[in-house]
Amino acid sequence: MIVAMQDAATEEQIQGVIERMVELGFNVHRTTGAAQTILAGVGKPDHFDVAEFKVLEGVHDAYRISSPYKLAGRSFRPEGTKITFPNGVVVGGEEVIVMAGPCSVESRGQILESAQAVAKAGGKFLRGGAFKPRSSPYSFQGMGIEGLKLMREVADETGLLVITEVMEISQIEPMLPYVDCFQIGARNMQNFNLLRELGHIRKPCLMKRGIAATIEEVLLSAEYILSGGNYDLMLCERGIRTYETATRNTMDISAIPVLKKLTHLPVLADPSHGVGIREFVPAMALASVAAGADGLLMEMHPNPEKAMSDGAQSMYPEQLEHLVAQLKQLAPVVGRSVK
Ligand code: PEP
Ligand code: MN
């Protein structure tokens, strides 16, 4: 931490700041210039809040220089995290992984047709919500465990892995037999109790960015899961809320390279929720891979006009196929592949 004192700070104020830094466990290095005194705190105290220093008397400003996330930071695993799934699919390697499927599981026929289309297009994961976090309590809330059973069945038939959202702690245990990857939704990115519990299981998780979460908050949330010992975690940019109303959310493509630099965790992108409009999803998907995404999580429905949720942003099966063909051409430009 660096504390810059005000030009007019008194010796007493400077000593007060030094005392507090030492109390927290910092080794303090003092530089006194012509006007200003700078205090550099070296060391890694377990708990400190830079905001506390910003308001101490005589302080001009204080900056944190070490990252507050120890396990999620890139330096913890500079080579990057690779997550290997039971069928040998690896996320975080050279291959960009496609995950697709409907927003919600609606029926056996619908999820089977979806799985067939995803497999045909070259996708590796079948997505689909069985527990749905809907903005309105009157909207379709999902099929629950019955939906998961259907997903598991059709995914096994088509050779896909299952990724689906978990909304609360009590769902984890009953979901375990059916899922390959737990999805933590944007609305739950700061449900810290849920994150802690997911840290105690040994099954991969994908955590979406909250709609108003900063990148630092994403990484601190990731820390909750990692600190429980579950290192198989992927992060996912899915659009944030801004003043723009032309799209459902604003797809923050810049978050992808920034996250890739700051963390060793695989970074995925969900262009469907990112823009919310089917016609723009492929462009955002291509942009995400160009920006370094390790995979894509996308909505595709065999009959989007009839979808029970998010039909407007769900691609047609042919659109997904066409997109994957384009991704195969684009990926080598950035040193990746889509198989
Ligand atoms: C979803 O994937 O269908 C979903 C609800 O996503 P998010 O949590 O990003 O809104
Ligand atoms: Mn959705």
Could you report the per-residue pLDDT of 129-159, keeping only the tens digit for each?
999 989 999 999 999 999 999 999 999 999 9
Residues 251 and 170 in one domain: yes
Residues 151 and 12 in one domain: no
User: Cα separation of 78 and 264, whole Å?
Assistant: 6
**Owning domain of residue 13:** 2-66
Tens digit of pLDDT for each residue in 255-289?
Answer: 999 999 999 999 999 999 999 999 999 999 999 99
The pTM is what? 0.91
Burial of 2 (C-beta count, 10 Å sphere; 0-12/13-18/19+): middle
Mean pLDDT of 12-30: 95
What 8-state DSSP symbol labels residue 189? Answer: T
Ligand that lies nearest to the alpha carbon of residue 208, given by its number in the listed order: 1
Residues 112 and 237 in one domain: yes
- Does residue 78 belong to any structural domain of this protein? no
Mean pLDDT of 213-239: 97
Pocket probe for ligand 1: among 99, 103, 207, 211, the residue whose CB has the most ligand atoms within 8 Å is: 103
In the numeric block, the tokens 């108003």 are attached to 212
Measure CA 243 to chain center: 22
Residues 292 and 323 in one domain: yes
For residue 311, the model assigns a pLDDT of 98
Residues 48 and 120 in one domain: no
Residues 193 and 317 in one domain: yes
Q: Which ligand 1 atom sits closest to the C-alpha of 239? A: 9
Write the DSSP string, 218-241: HHHHHHHHHTTT---EEEEE--B-
Give the three-state DSSP class for 269.
strand
Residue bearing the CA closest to ligand 1, atom 3:
103
User: Cα separation of 249 and 241, whole Å?
Assistant: 5
Domain at 12, CATH number: 3.30.70.1140
User: Cα separation of 269 and 195, whole Å?
Assistant: 20
Q: Which ligand 1 atom sits closest to the C-alpha of 209? A: 9
Residues 115 and 172 in one domain: yes
211 φ, ψ to 5°? -65, -20
Residues 224 and 263 in one domain: yes
Are 97 and 89 spatial neighbours (Cβ–Cβ below 8 Å)?
Answer: yes
Q: Which ligand 1 atom sits closest to the C-alpha of 183? A: 2
Which residues are near ligand 1 (CB < 6 Å)? 103, 129, 133, 185-187, 208, 238, 270, 273
Number of structural domains (the chain) is 2
Residues 151 and 239 in one domain: yes
Mean pLDDT of 86-111: 98
Residues 282 and 145 in one domain: yes
